[in-house]
Amino acid sequence: MSRNYKFHNPEGIYFVSTSVIDWLDVFTRIEYKEIIIESLKYCQSQKGMEIHAYCIMTNHIHLIFRSTSKSNPPQNILGDFKRFTSKKIVKTILDNPKESRKDLFIEQFKKAAKKSSNVNKYQFWRHDNMPIEIWSNSIIDGKINYIHNNPVVAGCVDCPCDYTYSSARNYAGMEGILDVVCL
């Protein structure tokens, strides 16, 4: 991985994107999005994650966050989040009798795990997060606009604040499903 894509400043604010392997559209079902939301809430309350912006799309997530914990740097928070959600979502897929895509998903997760040296049974997330430290107002504004307009560009909604699984609602002065620190 390039040196440009690492968490260098433990106190920095970072833009990260993390994707499901093979860009599988797992998050078309609300129960899987809810696992992400609950996990992010846990990271906020227990791990020192301060979220500034987010969006959960069908096959990837965008976050702008920083660590407020001296003992828990941003790469550890993100790693813990990905490990937990990977296991929880795969288990939920396996246990979901209504999941019509179960066989496809599990086959792909197993295949990806076989190609990875640090995954045992199922690989859910891609390994590349590409964290980018953001430090200027213009870069922050650009990344927030990019995140919030993702559902519009994808054709999910006409207005960013109409998308439930995004911080655009928070930035529009509405109640969001996660607490965010607006920049």
Query: Residue 158 phi/psi, 5° resolution?
Result: -90, -30
DSSP string of the chain, one letter each residue: --GGGS---TT-EEEEEEEBGGG--GGGSHHHHHHHHHHHHHHHHHS-EEEEEEEE-SSEEEEEEEE--TTS-HHHHHHHHHHHHHHHHHHHHHH-TT-TTHHHHHHHHHHHHHT-TT-SS---B-S----EEE-SHHHHHHHHHHHHHHHHHTTS-SSGGG-TTBTHHHHTTSPPSS-----
Per-residue model confidence as pLDDT tens for the chain (183 residues): 444 568 989 999 999 999 999 999 999 999 999 999 999 999 999 999 999 999 999 999 999 999 999 999 999 999 999 999 999 999 999 999 999 999 999 999 999 999 987 778 999 999 888 899 998 999 999 999 999 999 999 999 999 999 999 999 999 999 999 999 999
Give me the sign of the Cα torsion angle 28, 92, 40, 15.
negative
Q: Which letter, b or e, does each residue of 98-137 get, where b requires 16 or more Cβ atoms within 10 Å of its Cβ?
A: ebeeeeebbebbeebbeeeeebeebbbbbeebbbbbbeee
Q: What is the pLDDT of residue 119?
A: 79
Q: Which of 23, 32, 34, 35 is nearest to 104 (CA)?
A: 23
Q: What is the pLDDT of residue 5?
A: 60
